[in-house]
Amino acid sequence: MAAVLAMGLSASPAAPQSNVPLEVIGPDGQTSVMTRSEIEALPQSEILTTTIWTDGTIRFSGVPMARLLEHAGAEGTVLIMTALNDYSIEMPMGDLEADAPIVATRMNGQPMSVRDKGPYWVVYPFDDHPKYQTETTHARSVWQLARISVIE
Ligand SMILES: Nc1nc2c(c(=O)[nH]1)N[C@H]1C(S)=C(S)[C@@H](COP(=O)(O)O)O[C@H]1N2
Ligand SMILES: [Mo]
């Protein structure tokens, strides 16, 4: 069993996992499961920035989280973002700006593998303003995002 698991892991290529879905859950429990291609079919935004986790300036692209939630019909006042590693953080939806953060699906045009903080990474325009260089913003910059739940 362990050997099979180890083989499975070592055999899995660094290739982007385009089929890992993102769940968006409304306050009533209504769930939208979105694939990367569905997310990328929504109007896209780009953020050009450095991050404290990566080297150099990166062009992130994806959909603004506010727009994604609107598309999913997930309205409310508080959400929780949960990552594949079960990291989670709550935030008031009033803190969502029209263009920040984005749910990034690509770095420099390339889909992100799970080992590359993908397939979805919550990204702010960190370089644009000191307000994006805070511990609060860093804690909301969830990589390997798996789920956004509007809880109230
Ligand atoms: N998937 C995931 N994203 C995450 C975290 C995590 O543990 N898992 N930690 C958050 C917190 S609390 C902060 S401050 C930064 C931590 O980045 P660091 O581990 O490089 O300090 O990433 C945020 N995004
Ligand atoms: Mo943190």
In the prediction, which pLDDT does 8 show? 43
Task: Say how many Å lie between the CA of residue 139 and the centre of ligand 2.
Answer: 5
Mean pLDDT value of segment 107-130: 97
Confidence of residue 17 (pLDDT cuts 50, 70, 90): low
Instruction: Indicate the top mutation candidate among 82, 87, 116 to test ligand 1's pocket, ranked by most ligand atoms within 8 A of CB.
Output: 87
**Structure tokens, 23:** 């769940």
Closest residue CA from atom 22 of ligand 1: 139
Nearest one of 147, 21, 2 to 87, comparing CA atoms: 147
pLDDT averaged over every residue in the chain: 91
Burial of 38 (0-12, 13-18, 19+ CB in 10 A): middle
Confidence of residue 10 (pLDDT cuts 50, 70, 90): very low
The answer on pLDDT for 43 being more than 70 is yes
Asked, as a colleague might, if the bond just before 119 is cis with ω within 30 of 0, I would say yes
